[in-house]
Amino acid sequence: MKFDIEYIEKLTKLLTDSSLTEISLEDGDQAVTIRKEQFAQTSSAAPVAASAPVTSDVKAESHKGNPITAPIVGTFYGAPSPDAAPFVKVGDEVQKGSKVCIIEAMKLMNEIESDFSGKVIEICVTDGQPVEYGQVLMYVE
């Protein structure tokens, strides 16, 4: 089996679209490891024994404001229930300690509170999306 660029790109997409943080494959003298960096939101593919290394980077944009990050690994929910209004929307004012979302982990609903007072300028994740520890959920300025 030869690890071609198309195959590595498919693995990179699988990693990006899932809550996995690393995929490693080995076939004889060939090996490939693809890692998703938690904080920079970057995924890279670097074949160990392939003739041409392949990388796929998604750079995190620089933002003004304070990030609210995921304190745990789990699933992001922006509202208390599917038919309820979201806790916050872009443009809403929040106070330090106000609930901004829920992260479900091991069937427990963990309410996430803002560490800052200010206006929500960006929500970086969507409802039902898996999140990693330290991943930016939203920005408040």
Q: What is the pLDDT of residues 48-63, one digit of tens each?
A: 444 344 443 333 445 5
Q: Where are the domains of the chain?
A: 5-47, 66-140
In the structure encoding, which two tokens stand for residue 40, read together?
């920079």
pTM: 0.55
What's the mean per-residue pLDDT of the chain? Answer: 79
Bridge partner list, 140:
66, 120
Q: What is the pLDDT of residues 70-100, one digit of tens each?
A: 999 999 999 999 899 999 999 999 999 999 9
Contact assessment for residue 40 and residue 21, using Cβ atoms and an 8 Å cutoff: no
Which CATH architecture fits 66-140? Answer: Beta Barrel (2.40)
